[in-house]
A and B are shown apart, each in its own frame.
Chain A
Amino acid sequence: MIVSLISLILLCPLAAFAVFGLLGLANRRFPRQDYLSTAAMLIALACSFLLLREVVPKPEAHTLNWISLGDVTFSMGFYLDSVTVIMLIVVTLVSSLVHIFSIGYMHGDPRYPRFFAYLSLFSFSMLFLVVSDNLLGIYIGWELVGLCSYLLIGFWFEKDSAANACKKAFLTTRVGDVGMFIGMMMLFAKFKTLSLYDGETDGIFTLAANLNTGDMVWLSIAGILIFCGAIGKSAQMPLHTWLPDAMEGPTPVSALIHAATMVAAGVYLTARMFPILTETSSLVIAYVGGITALVAATIAIVRFDIKRVLAYSTISQLGYMMLAIGVGSYVAGLFHLTTHAFFKALLFLGSGSVIHAFHAMHAHGHDDEHAHEHNEDAETEHVLGSEIPSDQDMRNMGGLRHKMPITFITMLIATLSISGVPFIFSGFWSKDKILAGVLGRAMEWNSAHHYILFVIALLAAGITAFYMFRLIFMTFFGEPRNQEMHDMAHESPLSMTVPLIVLAILSFPVVNTLWFNKDYVKPPPQPHLHAPTHAQVAPDTKTGGTGFALSIFGVSEAVAAEEDAGHGTQDAHADDGHHGHGPAHTIAMILSICVAGLGIFLSWLFYQRRTLSAESVATTFRPVYNLFWHKYYFDEFYDGVLVALTVWKARLFAQFDGSVVDGIVNGVGVVTRDILAAFVGFFDNRVVDGLVNRVAQVTWVVGGRIRRIQTGAIQTYLFVVLAGIVLLILIFRAL
């Protein structure tokens, strides 16, 4: 049952792609590739839900030996536990909705069928990655995901910016993949297997658990290297630069990449590698995540392109998830991954809906995307990759809430969720769990690192609320800034609004939190993660604390009970060290509500009441504003240093090639031609030809002399014969 379900989940999207690919070979098209791909995803979605019931009791593994080389065997197989199933559901659900949305959004595109085929392949790759039980399978899915993102980001490859963006995405993630591959090979060199779980032989996790302390440095390095792959794929600092540029792809693709497939892969991988993380690698992951969360959030504040705000928001939220895994809050990280998947997909599809509304005024769709307006920011706008298409520029929007009520309400729900507005939105619960996890680890270990990380995370949470409401205020509230475009705007068709509504429903905690309660997700043990010796175990006051926090904010008993159940999950592995969760949770919750409220309030002051002027603040803090506007100069740094270095190196090599290699080749050529060949030619001409000519000449001359004998006069011959006979007779007589 499970095998057939999982096969169906994998094969449906693959078949949809294969139909396109195989018919494409014959230069044919399936008449409705869009319906085919969508149906395939819906089947996969249904199967995922069926699986949910199947694997609740215990994880399932099915492995086949794939390649045997000497005494090493590479296997391929599934590993299904609750995390896998949740990921399957998230991926298939978001992917299905994106498919449905695309039917409306991509309508009329010249490569409409191809788009759906790519979406199917993308979903297949991600599903394959998710169910693989070994690093090799994960790596295959990983690279397929990278390929599909390349194809889809560059879907409108007529645009130079899209062509460049897809190359950038591919190459940047490749940098991380190199690290991941080295990490994989380190594990392989040590354990002679790439299987993560125990099968016929022990998997990596079991083998790693048996390592002694002498191997910890090695294990930390391997863990960090594998995390490098996640840095690239999940757009963490410093490899995050591809993700904002990936906005060049069609908006449904952005939604898919940001919510379900591409970037979630990195978080998923890190979560999968959870059991081999050591203190060092955990701390590295936590810091990368935390810094990414803060930096990306600050960059998002100053962006005007609606999609780029969301892109930086994604980077920031991914940083949160990494942070959660880094501090050992496995459940919180995955919880945030799922809640984020839904509300971020909703935000992207919503922004797609807005862009689509503006598209109507461009009779020919994407041709006019470069017709951006140069206004007061003309001088700052001419920055690498920050040319904003007019239909994505929030400065052209405003007052859209009346024009597009469904888009507005659904996006508002997503925004409230991502901002961490308390209690009724899922984003609050997942973010709160992360903050509580960080603070819990900090208090439990009494570690300065984790206190710093908590402050960073808190700051990022506040900024997130600020820039998300800035987006809402600029887009949907106030007066229309561009009347012409405003007049053309309209609500999107049903195929686009239905996915929005579904996702909006999913942004409420009822659906999400169910999965994360009742011990459904259990964090795997981390045998090599030890609390520092000075750690103090805080008294266990969790129940009282949480209850207190909840009663302050007047939450119903039902929510409190649900939350307590959630805590049960955490404390089920109390030996893993989550004693400090009680007070930590209370403090974290209060603080996160405060910063979210503050962020929203400031945003309201700036962009709605206009009591404060964003422009004047920007002028006052010009250097800071510039830093944010230039995205911390990451692109400039890469362009100026890495790209320039590469180009310089290429020039150097070209010069080396031109002078030394070509020189050697030319030198050899010259020596051969002018010396060897000349000598051989001389020898050939003079000696060999000379010999032949002399022989001919001698023959000629001698022949010329001798031929005189041949007089042709028969009587002469006869005389000679007679003379000869006479001579012979005389000779014989003499003898």
Chain B
Amino acid sequence: MTLQHYLVISAILFTLGIFAVLTRRNAISILMGIELILNSCNLNFAAFSRFVTPSDDINGQIIAIFGIVLAAAEAAVFLAIILAIYREFGSIRPDEVDTLKG
């Protein structure tokens, strides 16, 4: 397995994530898309750490673990926001939550 394999999988994950974020009509699905993007990044960090930097340097892997932690916190905040939005608007479809429209 070479670096390219990891990068290709990471790119696929990122693209799927972006696609999910842009096209889903459900906030939970968008969250899932965001998780995909984050994880593609984490995969990149880990891959570059393994193949590019010297073997005793694990900074990239540690950043990946921070990214996972961050993703968990982000998910918690995001879900809380979704709950609040649901209470306010009775819907979690982002195209219906458009009070900031100009």
Counted as pairs of residues, one from A and one from B, with CB atoms less than 8 Å apart, the total is 33
When distances are taken between beta carbons in the complex, the residues of chain A under 8 Å from B18 are 722
A709 and B102 contacting across the interface, CB-CB below 8 Å: yes
CB of B99 within 8 Å of the partner chain:
yes
Q: B65-102, CB under 8 A of A: which get 1 and which 0?
A: 00000000000000000000000000000110111111
Q: A702-730, CB under 8 A of B: which get 1 and which 0?
A: 00001111111111001100100000000
The smallest beta-carbon distance between A336 and chain B, in angstroms, is 114
| Interface size bracket, A side | 10 to 19
A710 and B22 contacting across the interface, CB-CB below 8 Å: no
When distances are taken between beta carbons in the complex, the residues of chain A under 8 Å from B101 are 710-713
A713 and B102 contacting across the interface, CB-CB below 8 Å: no
Q: A713-B94, A713-B95 are in contact. Are A718 and B102 (CB under 8 A)?
A: no
A712 and B100 contacting across the interface, CB-CB below 8 Å: yes
The smallest beta-carbon distance between B6 and chain A, in angstroms, is 21
Whole-angstrom distance between the alpha carbons of A709 and B21 in the complex? 20
Whole-angstrom distance between the alpha carbons of A397 and B51 in the complex? 153
- Output the nearest chain B residue to A708 by Cβ-Cβ distance: B102
When distances are taken between beta carbons in the complex, the residues of chain B under 8 Å from A713 are 94-95, 98, 101
When distances are taken between beta carbons in the complex, the residues of chain A under 8 Å from B99 are 712
Whole-angstrom distance between the alpha carbons of A718 and B97 in the complex? 15
- Output the nearest chain B residue to A703 by Cβ-Cβ distance: B102
The smallest beta-carbon distance between A489 and chain B, in angstroms, is 113
The smallest beta-carbon distance between A723 and chain B, in angstroms, is 10
The smallest beta-carbon distance between A716 and chain B, in angstroms, is 9
A719 and B22 contacting across the interface, CB-CB below 8 Å: yes
The smallest beta-carbon distance between A700 and chain B, in angstroms, is 14
B98 and A707 contacting across the interface, CB-CB below 8 Å: no
The smallest beta-carbon distance between A464 and chain B, in angstroms, is 116
Whole-angstrom distance between the alpha carbons of A707 and B101 in the complex? 8
Whole-angstrom distance between the alpha carbons of A714 and B82 in the complex? 14
Q: Of B21, B22, B98, which contacts A712 at CB under 8 A?
A: B98
When distances are taken between beta carbons in the complex, the residues of chain A under 8 Å from B22 are 715, 718-719, 722
B98 and A711 contacting across the interface, CB-CB below 8 Å: yes
Q: A713-B94, A714-B94, A715-B94 are in contact. Are A707 and B21 (CB under 8 A)?
A: no
Whole-angstrom distance between the alpha carbons of A364 and B53 in the complex? 134
Q: Of A708, A710, A711, A715, which contacts B21 at CB under 8 A?
A: A715
When distances are taken between beta carbons in the complex, the residues of chain A under 8 Å from B30 are 715
Within 8 A of B (CB), among A342-391: none
When distances are taken between beta carbons in the complex, the residues of chain B under 8 Å from A710 are 100-102
When distances are taken between beta carbons in the complex, the residues of chain B under 8 Å from A722 are 18, 22
Whole-angstrom distance between the alpha carbons of A712 and B22 in the complex? 14
Q: Is the interface of A mostly helix, strand, loop or mixed?
A: helix
B102 and A715 contacting across the interface, CB-CB below 8 Å: no
B94 and A707 contacting across the interface, CB-CB below 8 Å: no
When distances are taken between beta carbons in the complex, the residues of chain A under 8 Å from B98 are 711-713
The smallest beta-carbon distance between A713 and chain B, in angstroms, is 5
When distances are taken between beta carbons in the complex, the residues of chain B under 8 Å from A719 are 22
Whole-angstrom distance between the alpha carbons of A118 and B21 in the complex? 111
Whole-angstrom distance between the alpha carbons of A712 and B94 in the complex? 9
- Output the nearest chain A residue to B27 by Cβ-Cβ distance: A714
Whole-angstrom distance between the alpha carbons of A710 and B94 in the complex? 15
When distances are taken between beta carbons in the complex, the residues of chain A under 8 Å from B23 are 715
Whole-angstrom distance between the alpha carbons of A708 and B100 in the complex? 11
Whole-angstrom distance between the alpha carbons of A268 and B18 in the complex? 126
Whole-angstrom distance between the alpha carbons of A707 and B100 in the complex? 11
When distances are taken between beta carbons in the complex, the residues of chain A under 8 Å from B102 are 706-712
Q: A542-571, CB under 8 A of B: which get 1 and which 0?
A: 000000000000000000000000000000
- Output the nearest chain B residue to A707 by Cβ-Cβ distance: B102
Residue from A706, A710, A715, A719 with most neighbouring chain B CB atoms (10 Å) = A715
Whole-angstrom distance between the alpha carbons of A631 and B59 in the complex? 135
Whole-angstrom distance between the alpha carbons of A709 and B100 in the complex? 11
- Output the nearest chain B residue to A719 by Cβ-Cβ distance: B22
Whole-angstrom distance between the alpha carbons of A722 and B37 in the complex? 13
When distances are taken between beta carbons in the complex, the residues of chain A under 8 Å from B94 are 713-715
Whole-angstrom distance between the alpha carbons of A710 and B101 in the complex? 5
B100 and A718 contacting across the interface, CB-CB below 8 Å: no
- Output the nearest chain A residue to B25 by Cβ-Cβ distance: A715
Whole-angstrom distance between the alpha carbons of A719 and B99 in the complex? 19
Q: A306-335, CB under 8 A of B: which get 1 and which 0?
A: 000000000000000000000000000000
When distances are taken between beta carbons in the complex, the residues of chain A under 8 Å from B95 are 713, 715
When distances are taken between beta carbons in the complex, the residues of chain B under 8 Å from A708 are 102
- Output the nearest chain A residue to B99 by Cβ-Cβ distance: A712
Whole-angstrom distance between the alpha carbons of A709 and B98 in the complex? 13
The smallest beta-carbon distance between A24 and chain B, in angstroms, is 84
- Output the nearest chain A residue to B101 by Cβ-Cβ distance: A712
Q: B12-50, CB under 8 A of A: which get 1 and which 0?
A: 000000100111000000100000000000000000000
The smallest beta-carbon distance between A204 and chain B, in angstroms, is 100
Whole-angstrom distance between the alpha carbons of A712 and B95 in the complex? 8
The smallest beta-carbon distance between A644 and chain B, in angstroms, is 88
When distances are taken between beta carbons in the complex, the residues of chain B under 8 Å from A712 are 97-102
- Output the nearest chain B residue to A706 by Cβ-Cβ distance: B102
When distances are taken between beta carbons in the complex, the residues of chain B under 8 Å from A714 are 94, 97
Residue from A714, A719, A722 with most neighbouring chain B CB atoms (10 Å) = A714
The smallest beta-carbon distance between A627 and chain B, in angstroms, is 109
The smallest beta-carbon distance between A465 and chain B, in angstroms, is 121
When distances are taken between beta carbons in the complex, the residues of chain B under 8 Å from A718 are 21-22
When distances are taken between beta carbons in the complex, the residues of chain B under 8 Å from A711 are 98, 101-102
The smallest beta-carbon distance between A39 and chain B, in angstroms, is 102
Whole-angstrom distance between the alpha carbons of A715 and B30 in the complex? 10
Q: A20-51, CB under 8 A of B: which get 1 and which 0?
A: 00000000000000000000000000000000
Whole-angstrom distance between the alpha carbons of A719 and B102 in the complex? 18
Q: A435-461, CB under 8 A of B: which get 1 and which 0?
A: 000000000000000000000000000
Interchain residue pairs A-B with the least CB separation, the first 4: A710-B102, A712-B101, A712-B98, A707-B102
Binding site for B on A (CB under 8 A): 706-715, 718-719, 722
Other contacts beyond A712-B102, A719-B22: 17, CB < 8 A: A707-B102, A708-B102, A709-B102, A710-B102, A711-B101, A712-B100, A713-B95, A713-B101, A714-B94, A714-B97, A715-B21, A715-B22, A715-B23, A715-B30, A715-B94, A715-B95, A718-B21
Q: Could you give 15 example pairs across A and B, Cβ below 8 Å?
A: A707-B102, A708-B102, A710-B100, A711-B98, A711-B101, A712-B97, A712-B98, A712-B99, A712-B100, A713-B94, A715-B21, A715-B30, A715-B94, A719-B22, A722-B18
Binding site for A on B (CB under 8 A): 18, 21-23, 30, 94-95, 97-102
